[in-house]
Structure 1
Amino acid sequence: MKLWFIEPRPNVFVSGVKDSVATTVIEYLYKHCPPESGLVMFRSLPRPPGYEIRTIGPPRKPMTSISGLQLVMETLASA
């Protein structure tokens, strides 16, 4: 995975490769990763909103969609 994707956080992979390679890698992951892996994959798209988020199993952070925009929800730290 680390050869084709950037991993900004553990188990969070961001694609930096051509669409065809990213699609092939993602399809491979769906076939071989168990649901408890909790992978979150971001892939750039040539159309709005410019990215796609895909997961395998439930991610640690909740996700939502607002007007077709996929978002990962973060909690605010108390001061």
Structure 2
Amino acid sequence: MLVVVANDLPPAVRGRMKLWFVEPKPNVFVSGVKDSVAVYVVDYLYKHCPPESGIVIFRSLPSPPGYEIRTIGPTKKTLTTISGLQLVIETLNHH
């Protein structure tokens, strides 16, 4: 499985992503593409998206921990690695 969350994608890239993915919300793409297609898509994003796109890519892997997180440019969420496990840091807003 491949999930791509972007702050903003170039229009040509967004159109191409719609060929492989379901877009449940604007700039959120989800697909069950095969590993070889997932690698192609990730490479395509790195080649065609400027850092301002702010992309987080979640890709399922057959080995532990079962996923990989990659980014392109600055993102709205902070990523960290603890004991080899990639995590997204969520901040709680207390009102």
With structure 2 as the length reference, what TM-score do the two structures score? 0.71
Distance 1:34 1:22 in 2: 19
1:22-61 equivalent positions in 2, closer than 5 A: 22-61=38-77
Moved more, 15-24 or 4-13: 4-13
Q: Give the structure 1 partner of residue 36 of structure 2.
A: 20
The one-letter amino acid of 2:54's match is: G
Distance 2:80 2:72 in 1: 15
Distance 1:70 1:8 in 2: 24
Gap change, CA 1:22 and 1:38, over 3 Å in 2: same
C-alpha distance after superposition, 1:14-41 (max 9, x if no partner): 4421110000011011001000100101
Q: Which runs of 5+ in 1 are unaligned?
A: none
Gap change, CA 1:57 and 1:38, over 3 Å in 2: same
C-alpha distance after superposition, 1:25-66 (max 9, x if no partner): 110110010001001010000000000001110111111000
Higher relative contact order (CA 8 A, sep 6+): 2
